[in-house]
Amino acid sequence: MRHRQTDVGESCPVSVVPVAMHDSNIQREIVVDTETTGLSPAAGHRVIEIGCLELINHVPTGSVFHQYLCPERDVPPDAVRIHGLTDEFLVSMPLFSAVAESFIEFVAGAKLIIHNAEFDLGFLNAELRRIKRDDLQNDVVDTLALARKKYPGGQASLDALCRRFNIDNSARTKHGALLDAELLAEVYLELIGGRQPGLTLEARASVETVSEAPKSERPARDHAPTAEELAAHKAFLDSMEKPIWRR
């Protein structure tokens, strides 16, 4: 079942599912999206929503990080028209500094999957620098660049890619970081080779128990040596000096 976008006024819980990462066969990826007050952190604009979801070996686990943030400034009307997040709603939300550690912990060690990575990373790193933290050093896959390479000349927006891959984005009446991250996860799986049946975000991955096939009893084979083999073995032992098999 797809996570619904958190309604204005609701709390924004963070769900973290521990994963044993010592197995070298486990590939952990985090799909990331943000909403902001504007287009450039250099102009003083801030992050107001972060949405992340976890993939293990390209399968969604249901583990998410989702948080609205107080930007300590106004949200311009043009931005509100895009994401619907108002000053009145955001003023009661935590500052980035209050959730930074949880966010850093959630993405630690994972490859980040981002659409137009320069934009989101620019804002996230600007927020980290504000609180004297290092920039994110994660490996990054930019799905915008990936789509442009795979479909030269084609439209590469998130909505356009959802249409290309027949992904239902009817709930996307406004931009929202978690909803967009969920849609992006499905787009990403298509871009890297296509979703396997049942591995959509509407059908969250679950741990499957693999039962052993019933074992059929086989009769023991006759391994008794033949007379010729016994004679050859005796001749071999006679050729040796004090063989241990005769002690």
**Sequence-distant (≥ 6) Cβ neighbours of residue 199 within 8 angstroms:** 58, 59, 60, 189, 205
Q: Read off the tokens for 138.
A: 């994660």
Between CA 59 and CA 204 the distance in angstroms is 8
Cα–chain-centroid distance for residue 68?
20
Q: Is the pLDDT confidence value at 53 over 70? A: yes
CATH classification for the domain delimited by 28-191, as one of 2.70.240.10, 3.40.50.720, 3.30.420.10, 3.90.1490.10: 3.30.420.10
Just list the catalytic residues.
175
Residues 81-122: tens digit of each pLDDT: 999 999 999 999 999 999 999 999 999 999 999 999 999 999
Half-sphere exposure of 25 (CA within 13 A, CB side): 0
Could you tell me whether strands 59-68 and 47-56 are parallel, antiparallel, or unpaired per DSSP bridges?
Answer: antiparallel
Q: What is the mean pLDDT of the chain?
A: 81
Between CA 47 and CA 122 the distance in angstroms is 10
Residues 187-224: tens digit of each pLDDT: 999 999 976 544 555 444 333 333 334 444 444 445 55
Domain coordinates in residue numbering, the chain: 28-191
Between CA 213 and CA 234 the distance in angstroms is 44
